[in-house]
Structure 1
Amino acid sequence: MEHRTVGELMTRKVVSVRLETPFKEIARILADNAVSAVPVLDGLGRPAGMVSEADLLRKVADRSDLTGRTPLPHLEAWERERAEGRTAGEFMSAPAVCAHPEWTVVEAARLMQVQNVKRLPVVDETDRLLGVVSRSDLLRVFLRRDQAIQEEISREVVGRLARLGAAGVTAEVAEGQVTLHGSVDDALLIPVLTRMCAGIDGVVSVAEEVTAKARA
């Protein structure tokens, strides 16, 4: 089984800014391109960080509100320093958390989860920007057709385990939900089948209605 790669899912036409790009120009770029964040590149075209709507809003939220209807948010020292920045290099989120095009969906998703980020710049072996992969890009694997998932399970799961006694298993797929039917020679194969099916891109859940043949 091969998971889809970041290179297959990433957005290649990427809008970016430079370290010296001023605040208002960044706000304009985000609005004009209908994006919520952009990579910040250094002089060699390498991602130095990311600047997002949240970074821009930090500056707005830190201003005084004469109406007094909302309290001034508490900002840590580093947040206040960023809020006072004027250019991308001064208020971006850094360093950039990057991925590589050969990474799998699983690897990219885990990094996003660990680093609590919504998108990853994708770089080559010299750290030059190739694209950006976002959470929504990774979720595209769940748009796979049920038939494609069923065919991959038959080929890559049941097919590989057939000689071990799983040849009698079939898979039914509806809206990404897999149900395994049939019988196996050894009950120990049932959790293996379930785990392997769960690892297929696009699978939402796996249920099994599989029995083990009685031993003589």
Structure 2
Amino acid sequence: MTAQHNTVSEVMTRDVVTVRPDTPFKEITSVLSSHGISAVPVADEHGAPMGLVSEADLLRKQAEQPDKYGGQAALPGWPRAKAKARAENAAGLMTTPVVTAHADWSVAEAARVMDRQHVKRLVVVDETDHIIGIVSRPDLLRVFLRPDEEVREEIRDEVLTAILQLSGQEVQVQVHDGVVTLSGEVEKRSTAQIAERLAKGVDGVVTVRPLIDYAIDDRAAEDRPQSGIEAIDPRRGDT
């Protein structure tokens, strides 16, 4: 099998640069510039995350500077933005609370948290809350760089053959630019639905086009709405 990026552990940056709460503004700027990063976690003396300082936090300082006419516009988020703009160290600049992830999370789970919290990166911590990595949006998107042939082989070998015990004659797999097409015919509708759902979970899959026919609709009863009250036929005269 080819290497897969299924968990945060496999896509995160491990060599994490951190600063302390008392790290001065200019030193933070230097850290970001020298390491080519856009944000840095703030850690306490035990290595636990306290906050995150990003380029956006630092730019508030510049945004507060008066223009050439001496005018000064109110910053968004005032007065919190004003306090950040006047901060001198990481403690005053950092954004809190820190949104964290764990190394054993799936890439999909990390992406959901990032989207829900509206953040660009997650600080990865271990079971003792120590910083062990950082994962960003580009890291999570890396899974979509998998070659189509790798994606096709995993769906064919791991999903269809190993899990569902289906042969290549029953279901065929085509992948183009991450778009998976499943075609063929199986006995039950539920099998076709499971194949689609499992294929969607394979790294590198953009979407799945299910074109699998089935002989038996074994999900028909489940799809019907259930009710504990028997319908009354008005033609029977029941009251």
Residue 152 of structure 2 corresponds to 150
2:204 pairs, out of 202, 207, 211, with: 202
Partner of 2:134: 132
Correspondence for 1:62 among 39, 64, 76? 64
CA–CA distance in 2 between the matches of 1:48 and 1:78? 18
Q: Is the 8 A contact 1:146 1:174 kept in 2?
A: yes
Give the Cα separation in 2 of the matches to 1:68 and 1:204: 51
From 167, 170, 192, give the equivalent of 1:168.
170
- Work out the number of aligned pairs and report it: 213
Out of 95, 118, 121, the residue aligned to residue 119 of structure 1 is 121
Deviation at 1:41, TM superposition (A): 0.9
What's the % identity of the aligned pairs?
Answer: 46
Q: For residues 154-211 of structure 1, what are the alpha-carbon distances to aligned partners after superposition, in whole Å with 9 as ceiling and x for unaligned?
A: 1332122236x99700111122111112111123433332222111111011113322
Structure 1 residue 70 displacement after superposition: 8.4
Higher relative contact order (CA 8 A, sep 6+): 1
**SS state of the match for residue 172, structure 1?**
strand
SS at 1:203 equivalent: coil
Equivalent residue for 1:98?
A: 100
AA of the residue aligned to 2:191: L
91 and 214 in structure 1: CA distance in 2 versus 1, 3 angstrom threshold: closer
1:37-85, CA deviations, whole angstroms, 9 ceiling, x for partnerless residues? 0111111111111100000011211222134798443432222222221
Q: For the residues of structure 2 that align with 1:111 and 1:79, how far apart are their CA atoms?
A: 25
Distance 1:214 1:86 in 2: 69
Specify the SS of the correspondent of 2:102.
coil
Gaps of 5+ in 1: none
Looking at CA atoms only, which structure, 1 or 2, has the larger radius of gyration?
A: 2
The answer for unaligned runs of 5 or more in structure 2 is 218-239
Please report the RMSD computed on the Cα atoms of aligned residues, expressed in angstroms: 2.3
Q: Which TM-score applies when normalising by structure 2?
A: 0.81
User: What is aligned with 1:181?
Assistant: 183
2:26 is matched with: 24
